[in-house]
């Protein structure tokens, strides 16, 4: 005889299941931190590559150089947004891990000795390397846009002088 399932009852997870779930979430968090760092390096290295390419294209075709700088502008801006969102997601995951660690009876997901040492103490500084990365990418974006604008205006000024 088949019985209907009682959807109203919930079985509490065992301590072992909670610990296994926490270990999996902690590994996922570490992978996410690693991915975030790789993403930051990618965007920081991509923009100088685009700048060098646009510099080489300037000798061949100014419109192509301006297009490359436009790509650099968009890429650097998108990189700043991606790094910011990734860091926010990582912080939310770390906060969730702290709650889960308390539920399991562990200290917490501190990754480095410095984090363990400062646990529970207020942060005295507000500087974060991620903030520096976001600012650097925003500056790259603005620089690319300014350089593209300069090339476009300079090209028009040269054309006007030649027609005189």
Instruction: Give pLDDT, residue 155.
Output: 61
Instruction: Give pLDDT, residue 8.
Output: 63
Instruction: Give pLDDT, residue 82.
Output: 92
pLDDT along the chain (164 residues), means of 10: 60 81 84 89 91 90 92 93 90 84 74 63 72 91 92 66 50
Instruction: Give pLDDT, residue 5.
Output: 58
Asked whether the whole model's pTM tops 0.85, one would answer no
Q: Decide: 13 and 100 in contact? Cβ < 8 Å.
A: no
Instruction: Give pLDDT, residue 109.
Output: 63
Taking alpha carbons only, the member of 45, 70, 46, 44 closest to residue 57 is: 70
Instruction: Give pLDDT, residue 10.
Output: 72
Instruction: Give pLDDT, residue 4.
Output: 58
Residue 81 contacts by C-beta under 8 Å, 6 or more apart in sequence? none
In 3-state terms, what secondary structure has residue 164?
coil
Return the biggest CA–CA distance within the chain: 98
Taking alpha carbons only, the member of 114, 137, 112 closest to residue 124 is: 114
Instruction: Give pLDDT, residue 137.
Output: 92
Instruction: State the Cα–Cα distance between residues 54 and 143, nearest whole angstrom.
Output: 13
Q: Decide: 150 and 58 in contact? Cβ < 8 Å.
A: no
Containing 19, the helix (H) or strand (E) segment is helix 15-60
DSSP 111: -
Instruction: Give pLDDT, residue 38.
Output: 92
């Amino acid at each position: 005889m088949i019985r209907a399932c009682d959807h109203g009852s919930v079985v509490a997870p065992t301590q072992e299941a909670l610990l296994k779930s926490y270990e999996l979430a902690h590994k996922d968090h570490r992978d996410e931190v690693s991915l975030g760092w790789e993403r930051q390096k990618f965007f920081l290295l991509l923009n100088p590559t685009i700048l060098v390419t646009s510099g080489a294209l300037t000798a061949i075709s100014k419109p192509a150089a301006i297009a490359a700088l436009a790509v650099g502008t968009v890429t650097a801006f998108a990189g700043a947004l991606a790094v910011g969102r990734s860091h926010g997601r990582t912080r939310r995951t770390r906060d969730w891990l702290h709650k889960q660690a308390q539920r399991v009876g562990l200290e917490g997901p501190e990754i480095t000795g410095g984090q363990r040492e400062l646990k529970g103490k207020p942060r005295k500084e507000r500087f974060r390397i991620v903030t520096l990365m976001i600012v650097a990418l925003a500056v790259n974006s603005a620089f690319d846009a300014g350089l593209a604008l300069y090339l476009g205006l300079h090209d028009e000024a040269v054309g006007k002088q030649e027609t005189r």
